[in-house]
Amino acid sequence: MRRLLRTLLLTLSLGGLAPVHADEAESVTLAIQNGIAYLPLLLADEQHLIEEEAARLGLPNLKVKLLNLGSAGMIRDALIAGQVDFGAVGPPTLVNMHDKTRGDIKLVSVIVSLPMTLNTTNDRVKSICQFDTGDKIALPTIKISVQAVTLQMAAKAQCGDPFLLDRLTVSMAHPDGMNALLSGVVSAHFTSPPFAQAEIERGQGKVRPLLDSYSILGDKSTFIVLVGSERFRARNPNLHAAVRSGIQRAKALIAQDKTAAAQLYLRRENSRETLDEVLKQLDSTDLEFGEVPRGIGHYARFMHEVGSVKGRYDWKALSMPELHDQPGS
């Protein structure tokens, strides 16, 4: 009994930390894409915040790898195959993976809410319903990316057919999609900051926005989430907690010093943007590095209604328990 009491007191003195699992992984790989949305992950990697949190939780030798796979489809395939441990994707890709893995893949942490913009060079098109077989619409991954599903939502609302534009979409990472739009290879690109603004600025008056995601969804919505598996969390509870808390620390650091965060982004992304342009994005009220899931259930309901997934899910069913106390949607 005395030994048990001493153990409990020691645990309390360490801040109630979870017991260290001797067989927890010694390395972790997180997959990302391109753009300002992934700044918290870039900063966490740069300052070794996940490693620091892991050491605090009894895992002093953790190795963290950040891998840019360029698209939601690549991240989905790598995560399901066990080649990466966490992936930063849009809500529809989360819903798709949750459905395919029978609930194993879930939301671990919200990364950012920000608007997406559909830019076009086709001056004949006044609404998305006017795109035809001569048009190509670039987006990161057809059918499952947040851009693809948001475009389906817009097509259903404006044209009466959610899949009307699917045949016109082509998969391209954001930098490739921007170059394709500016060079005339595609006539539209559904993208996010900084690419949406850069296309308009470099398009010499030929590029214009046709719609944005907030107008389609009716409110501010989550753009990127970090996802992972329940099985990984069960085997690696402290590592899982370290990833979450490391990203939360990164978000706080961005808010504390936006200039330093913007400089890090420019260097890590090798971006052609100016510091002022990045700071303008970070100061925008449309961009929020928060923790509240917004609009996740909206995507899940739509995907079930149109037959893209079999199951019916609300945002809590799609999320790890650590997020259930958030006022999500």
More confident: 212 or 7: 212
Domain ranges of the chain: 23-113+221-323, 117-217
**Amino acid letter at 166?**
D
Q: Are 132 and 167 in contact (CB under 8 A)?
A: no
Q: Residue 4: what pLDDT? A: 40
At 177-217, the pLDDT tens digits run 999 999 999 999 999 988 999 999 999 999 999 999 999 99
Using CB atoms within 10 Å of the CB of residue 101, give its burial: 0 to 12 exposed, 13 to 18 middle, 19+ buried: middle
Q: The pTM is what?
A: 0.90
Domain 23-113+221-323 sits in CATH at 3.40.190.10
**What is the arithmetic mean of pLDDT over 140-157?**
95
Domain 117-217 sits in CATH at 3.40.190.10
Query: Cis peptide before 237, with omega less than 30 degrees from 0?
Result: no
Q: Are 128 and 154 in contact (CB under 8 A)?
A: yes
